[in-house]
């Protein structure tokens, strides 16, 4: 079911920030904001929860470290121990200094690659996905704020024009 939203277009990020604050103060629900570049502080002004991607990065790094330790212990100690340069391979602890670079690299490898996959899945970005941008000007130099309509079109239009919107229109949200 499609619902109606009002789209306000701004041409300055500072004006947009002030508009977001005024719209939130008036207790209207902002559906989405489209910007050509990251606007610092916009997530806080919109009242969005902080991201938990850093926690997942740490967990992915721990998975990489576990895989590295398990792999090296199996390959170099249990499965095929070799006497390289007179250094015995009887235990993992004796050889740990040589294994540190491998543990570091696999930790970073797992964290980086799994974070990219998590980001794309969380953002619902996948190959051949149709763009959801309602106005192509937001990829160049304009900012667009979508606000839900609840039988308050005239009041909301006046508010958005007062906040500095250069263009206001009503459209269907799918």
pLDDT in tens, 131-148: 888 888 988 999 999 999
pLDDT class of 79 with cuts at 50, 70, 90:
confident
Verify that 59 and 117 share a domain, yes or no. Answer: yes
User: Strand locations in 17-85, DSSP E?
Assistant: 30-34
Verify that 34 and 59 share a domain, yes or no. Answer: no
pLDDT class of 174 with cuts at 50, 70, 90:
low
Cβ count near 77 (within 10 Å)? 17
| pTM reported for the whole predicted model | 0.71
Let me know if residue 28 belongs to a domain.
Answer: yes
pLDDT in tens, 11-43: 999 999 999 999 999 999 999 999 999 999 999
Verify that 107 and 65 share a domain, yes or no. Answer: yes
Name the domain count of the chain: 2
Verify that 44 and 57 share a domain, yes or no. Answer: no
- What is the C-alpha separation between 111 and 74, in angstroms, rounded? 22
Verify that 144 and 165 share a domain, yes or no. Answer: yes
Q: Counting beta carbons within 10 angstroms of the beta carbon of residue 8, is it exposed (0 to 12), middle (13 to 18) or buried (19 or more)?
A: buried
């Amino acid at each position: 079911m499609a619902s109606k939203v009002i789209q306000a277009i701004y041409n300055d990020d500072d004006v947009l920030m002030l508009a977001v604050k005024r719209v939130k103060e008036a207790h209207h629900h902002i559906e989405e904001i489209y910007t050509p570049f990251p606007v610092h502080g916009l997530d806080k002004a919109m009242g969005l929860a902080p991201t938990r991607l850093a926690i997942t990065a740490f967990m992915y790094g721990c998975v990489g470290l576990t895989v590295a330790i398990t792999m090296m212990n199996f390959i170099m100690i249990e499965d095929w121990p070799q006497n390289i340069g007179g250094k015995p391979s009887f235990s993992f602890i004796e050889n740990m200094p040589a294994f540190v670079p491998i543990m570091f690299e696999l930790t970073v490898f797992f964290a980086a690659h799994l974070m990219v996959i998590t980001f794309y899945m969380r953002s619902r970005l996948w190959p051949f996905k149709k763009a959801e941008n309602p106005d192509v000007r937001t990829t160049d130099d304009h900012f667009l704020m979508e606000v839900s309509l609840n039988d308050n079109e005239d009041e909301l239009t006046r508010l958005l024009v007062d906040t500095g919107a250069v263009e206001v229109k009503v459209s269907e949200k799918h």
